[in-house]
């Protein structure tokens, strides 16, 4: 009897010791000077131990560990395929040991932590399952996924204001894209910004000595603004506030050490302007946004940093522009418009002695937006400056050097259009037309003295080539080919299309056609609805995604359905409260048009999209289950009700607008429609295979949207591959994650379209 009790006690002791290892552990490896975080997730079931490993910096998550062996206070973890082994001993709530791989023996101490990964972590497909999916993309293809989606070795070229330096991103062997500064006279190069675990989301010049850049954490979109000297010194987080989103409103050219930023620091729902000293970090609040029910949503500063006006969102659906009286200094109500009308100041007319004169983008008395010269004091149009009868006008550029002369107008029709106005711009664009025939060439940067210009040359078959233009010599110098590995002759044509919808609307779009389609063969089609959906549109030009699909023999259809931007406010409004309904009709009419042209095989059509496009994928499988052979849902909404409930705080002031665009869930009739067009409630109508892709930290489309549809479909016996990246948000931005996603997507498409 005593012996039996002793055995039980021993078993309890061993189990207790083993349970000390159960949970989440993390530590940092020092690999030749590079810090690499490693995370182990250990679980126990029926005396069997399972472990997975994450290496966030390399985009690896859920990597299975073959062997988890516990012996008293010692543990051994082994992944034979990767040649990895870790041996450690539990000491004072830490596991102290060595990590062995590729002949390296590296000390590693693991500490316990509570893993709070978003979503249901049991749902994502295993690495092996996703690798199996990738294997279906078989063929002797000239180009790999990485040829299209590996970031360029160098990119993001910019000139310093004085024209002495050129900055650019350059990628290292670990896919980190650091920012370098090159002195043009000497060729001397130095690194200004080091990209570490978090991505540098954007950067630029503030003045001749200092640059800014922005970063968030894992795609959560709470951006911090940083500043650094061009030699990498005096790095400063200018907005060091957790859970706060910051963005640059104005770079003050006339006050070189200052910028104006917007932050939701005082209230997460609204943004307020602050003047920032980019050397010291000194912060001064310029205006308060205190009426949360009717918040300010935009600020108008002049070139000297003076607040001249602001725009309030009133009753959730109206814009009120308040303009400052130059005599009294008082802000007075100027104009009240619907939220979907346009009346916005592009720039004050600094060439005029009249301080109330401004270039305004408006459609208050027209369907299409146009540019007018406007007197804000008298509320009168001085003259119309530029318009287009078919498409919305998008903007103009002014020359600070030449007393704010107009350089060019721009709008987007079937292609991007630049209309040069000034003598200088007419000359440069004329030279570019001769130098780069049958291409689109744009001035993307210039120095303050307008001696050096950066030009990018693109087309539907050319990703982009940078040139430096010297205004004195009038010569173009090749700087960099962003994707030299992709040859123009091998790329597919992106063709603008136009068709009439079933209710008589003119719908524009694009189709990318592989060579087989141009030779008369009917090819599989990928239908790619865009995100947004309101005010967003697809554009002509080089698209790595559609080119990748064309390399596998697929055509890609992109329809700018009603509610898309650029086609006037009537076209925009025609899509309100039609999401999942008439928007889908337009997409289906585009498919019918492509079939009628003889380009595509009607039995091999897939639908794929991101955000609203992911939602449209699910609705396509619900609404027309026999039209599509399969679908790929990338960060897409599945349930309009939970989508509304999960809005980030800074979206909540716009909830009334969202009700006008989507559906008012407080109205029983509209709530019933919303339920009909929420795919999660229509799962029984989905008959075709689905692949779901999600960023775990997505603040816009919460991971619950993808978890719901995966859970629902699996419950009815569907095999649904599900890829989740725990270091991404709304869309994948890390190179290794993008490549992983597209390799799996190609495998899924091949499995279902190349039967």
- Residues 490-540: pLDDT tens digits? 999 999 999 999 999 999 999 999 999 999 999 999 999 999 999 999 999
Using CA atoms, how far residue 431 sits from 290, 411, 475, in Å, is 52, 21, 9
pLDDT digits (tens, 9 = 90+) for 225-239: 999 999 999 999 999
Q: Model confidence at 309, in pLDDT bands (50, 70, 90)?
A: very high
Shared domain for 581 and 555, answered yes or no, is yes
Mean pLDDT on 700-713 = 93
| pLDDT for the residue numbered 54 | 78
The answer as to whether 418 is a domain residue is no
Cα separation, 152 vs 202, in Å, equals: 15
Whether residue 634 has pLDDT greater than 90: yes
CA distance 525 to 421: 42
- pTM, full prediction: 0.81
Same domain membership, residue 452 and residue 498: no
pLDDT reading at 65 higher than 90: no
DSSP type of residue 492 = P
CATH number for the domain that contains residue 34: 2.40.128.120
On whether both 82 and 96 belong to a single domain, the answer is yes
List pLDDT tens digits, range 435-489. 999 999 999 999 999 999 999 999 999 999 999 999 999 999 999 999 999 999 9
Euclidean distance between CA atoms 311 and 338, whole angstroms: 12
- Cβ atoms of residues 612 and 530 within 8 Å: yes
What does the pLDDT read at residue 220? 84
| 199 found inside a domain | yes
Name the residue with higher pLDDT: 245 or 10: 245
User: Taking the CB of residue 706, how many other CB atoms lie within 10 A of it?
Assistant: 31
Predicted local distance difference test score (pLDDT) of residue 45: 67
Of 256, 287, 318, which residue sits at a domain end? 287
Please name the residue ranges forming H helices in 70-229.
Answer: 127-134, 145-149
Shared domain check, 605 and 457: no
Domains in the chain: how many in total?
A: 4
Instruction: Match 């994707």 to its residue by tokens.
Output: 483
Is the pLDDT reported for residue 426 higher than 90?
yes
Does any domain span residue 214?
Answer: yes
User: Between 122 and 622, whose confidence is greater?
Assistant: 622
Predicted pLDDT at 432: 96
Higher-scoring residue by pLDDT: 48, 264: 264
Establish if 279 belongs to a structural domain: yes
Q: Do 35 and 178 fall within a single domain?
A: no
Nearest alpha carbon to residue 736 among 719, 720, 753, 723? 723
For 709-743, the pLDDT digits (tens) are 999 999 999 999 999 999 898 999 888 999 999 99
CA 377 to chain centre: 39
More confident residue, 19 or 52: 52
pLDDT tens-place string over residues 68-110? 888 888 999 998 777 889 999 988 889 999 999 878 889 999 9
Q: For residue 428, what are the CA distances in angstroms to 166, 409, 433, 450, 465?
A: 20, 15, 9, 12, 17
Asked if residue 605 and residue 538 are part of one domain, the reply reads yes
Residue 524 lies in a domain: yes
Q: Say what the pLDDT of residue 23 is.
A: 85
Residues 504 and 480 both lie in one domain:
no
CATH number at residue 190: 2.120.10.30
What local confidence, expressed as pLDDT, does residue 64 receive? 77
Are 49 and 72 part of one and the same domain? yes
Domain check: are 671 and 730 in the same one?
yes
Give the per-residue pLDDT at 677: 97
State mean pLDDT over 22-33: 85
The verdict on residue 314 lying in a domain is no
Structure confidence at residue 1 as a pLDDT band (50, 70, 90): very low
| Structural contact between residues 584 and 619, judged by C-beta atoms closer than 8 angstroms | yes
Amino acid 21: pLDDT: 83
Looking up residue 622, the CATH number of its domain turns out to be 3.40.50.1820
In this structure, of 54-68, 96-110, 292-306, 427-441, the range with the lowest mean pLDDT score is: 54-68
The residue range of the domain holding 438 is: 426-487
Residue 638, in any domain of the structure: yes
Choose between 721 and 2: higher pLDDT.
Answer: 721
Averaged pLDDT of the chain: 92
| In a shared domain, residues 458 and 519 | no
Question: pLDDT at residue 37 above 90?
Answer: no
What is the per-residue pLDDT for 60? 59
Q: Is residue 304 part of a domain?
A: no
Q: Which of 246, 267, 287 is the last residue of a domain?
A: 287
Q: Where are the beta strands (DSSP E) in 376-520?
A: 380-386, 393-399, 405-412, 416-420, 440-446, 452-458, 465-470, 475-481, 493-500, 506-513
Q: Which SS3 state, helix, strand or coil, does residue 650 take? A: helix
Kindly indicate the confidence band of residue 3, based on its pLDDT and cuts at 50, 70 and 90. very low
Give pLDDT, residue 15: 40
pLDDT for the residue 57: 60
Task: Assess whether pLDDT exceeds 70 at residue 19.
Answer: no
Question: What pLDDT score does 632 carry?
Answer: 98
Least confident stretch, 203-212, 549-558, 646-655: 646-655
Asked if 219 and 275 sit in the same domain, the reply is yes
What is the pLDDT, as a whole number, of residue 34?
Answer: 73
Return the pLDDT at 56.
66
Answer yes or no: do 676 and 544 share one domain.
Answer: yes
Q: Average pLDDT for residues 682-700, to the nearest whole number? A: 94
Q: What is the pLDDT of residue 2?
A: 45
Sorting pLDDT into bands at 50, 70 and 90, what band is 4?
very low
Looking at 287, 312, 341, the residue that finishes a domain is 287
Tell me how far apart the alpha carbons of residues 109 and 28 are, in angstroms, rounded to a whole number: 7
pLDDT class of 5 with cuts at 50, 70, 90: very low
């Amino acid at each position: 009897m005593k012996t039996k009790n002793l055995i039980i006690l021993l078993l309890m002791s061993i189990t207790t010791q083993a349970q000390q290892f159960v949970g989440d552990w993390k530590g940092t490896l020092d690999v030749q000077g590079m810090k690499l975080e490693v995370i182990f997730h250990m679980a126990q079931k029926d005396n069997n131990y399972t472990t997975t490993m994450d290496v966030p910096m390399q985009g690896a998550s859920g990597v299975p560990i073959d062997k988890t062996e516990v012996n008293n206070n010692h543990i051994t973890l082994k992944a034979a395929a990767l040649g990895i082994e870790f041996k450690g001993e539990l000491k004072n709530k830490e596991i102290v040991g060595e990590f062995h791989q590729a002949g390296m023996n590296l000390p590693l101490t693991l500490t316990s932590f509570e893993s709070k990964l978003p979503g249901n972590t049991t749902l994502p497909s295993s690495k092996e399952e996703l690798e199996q999916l990738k294997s279906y993309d078989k063929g002797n293809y000239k180009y790999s996924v990485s040829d299209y989606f590996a970031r360029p070795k160098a990119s993001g070229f910019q000139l310093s204001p004085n024209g002495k330096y050129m900055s650019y991103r350059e990628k290292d062997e670990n896919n980190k894209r650091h920012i370098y500064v090159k002195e043009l006279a000497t060729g001397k190069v130095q690194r200004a910004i080091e990209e570490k675990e978090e991505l540098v989301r954007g950067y630029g010049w503030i003045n001749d000595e200092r640059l800014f850049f922005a970063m968030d954490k894992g795609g959560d979109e709470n951006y911090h603004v940083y500043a650094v000297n061009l030699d990498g010194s005096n790095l400063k987080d200018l907005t060091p506030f957790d859970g706060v989103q910051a963005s640059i409103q104005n770079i003050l050219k006339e006050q070189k050490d200052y910028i104006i930023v917007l932050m939701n620091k005082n209230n997460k729902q609204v943004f307020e302007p602050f003047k920032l000293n980019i050397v010291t970090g000194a912060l001064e609040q310029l205006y308060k946004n205190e009426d949360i029910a009717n918040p300010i949503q935009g600020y108008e500063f002049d070139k000297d940093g003076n607040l001249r006006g602001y725009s309030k969102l009133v009753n959730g659906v109206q814009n009120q522009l308040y303009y400052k009286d130059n005599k009294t200094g008082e802000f007075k109500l100027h104009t009240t418009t619907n939220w979907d009308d346009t009346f916005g100041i592009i720039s004050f007319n600094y060439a005029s002695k009249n301080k109330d004169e401004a270039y305004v983008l408006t459609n208050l008395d027209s369907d299409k937006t146009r540019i007018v010269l406007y007197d804000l004091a008298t509320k009168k149009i001085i003259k119309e400056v530029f318009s287009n009868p078919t498409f919305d006008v998008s903007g103009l550029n002014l020359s600070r050097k030449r007393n704010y002369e107009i350089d060019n107008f721009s709008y987007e029709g079937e292609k991007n259009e630049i209309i040069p106005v000034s003598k200088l711009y007419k000359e440069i664009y004329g030279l570019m037309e001769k130098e780069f025939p049958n291409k689109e060439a744009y001035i993307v940067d210039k120095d303050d003295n307008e001696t050096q210009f950066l030009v990018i040359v693109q087309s539907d078959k050319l990703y982009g080539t940078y040139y430096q233009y010297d205004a004195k010599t009038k010569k173009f110098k090749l700087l960099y080919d962003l994707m030299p590995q992709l040859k123009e002759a091998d790329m597919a044509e992106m063709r603008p299309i136009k068709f009439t919808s079933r209710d008589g609307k003119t719908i524009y779009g694009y189709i990318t056609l592989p060579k087989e389609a141009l030779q008369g063969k009917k090819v599989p089609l990928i239908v790619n609805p865009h995100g947004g959906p309101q005010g967003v549109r697809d554009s002509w030009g080089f698209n790595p995604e559609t080119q990748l699909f064309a390399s596998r023999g697929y055509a890609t259809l992109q329809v700018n359905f009603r509610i898309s931007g650029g086609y006037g406010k009537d076209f925009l409004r025609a899509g309100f409260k039609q999401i999942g309904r008439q928007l889908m009709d337009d997409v289906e009419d585009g498919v019918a048009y492509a079939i009628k042209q003889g380009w595509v095989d009607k039995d091999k059509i897939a639908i794929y999209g991101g955000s609203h496009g992911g939602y449209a994928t699910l609705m396509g499988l619900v609404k027309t289950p026999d039209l599509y052979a399969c679908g790929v849902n990338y960060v897409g909404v599945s349930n309009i009700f939970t989508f509304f409930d999960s809005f980030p705080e800074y979206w909540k002031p716009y909830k009334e607008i969202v009700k006008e665009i989507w559906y008012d869930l407080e109205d029983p009739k509209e709530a019933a429609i919303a339920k009909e067009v929420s795919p999660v409630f229509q799962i029984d109508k989905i008959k075709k295979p689905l692949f779901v892709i999600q960023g775990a930290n997505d603040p816009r489309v919460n991971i619950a949207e993808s978890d719901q549809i995966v859970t629902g479909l699996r419950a009815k016996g569907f095999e649904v591959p599900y890829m989740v990246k725990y270091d991404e948000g709304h869309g994948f931005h890390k190179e290794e994650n993008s490549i992983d996603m597209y390799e799996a997507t190609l495998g899924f498409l091949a499995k279902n379209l190349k039967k």
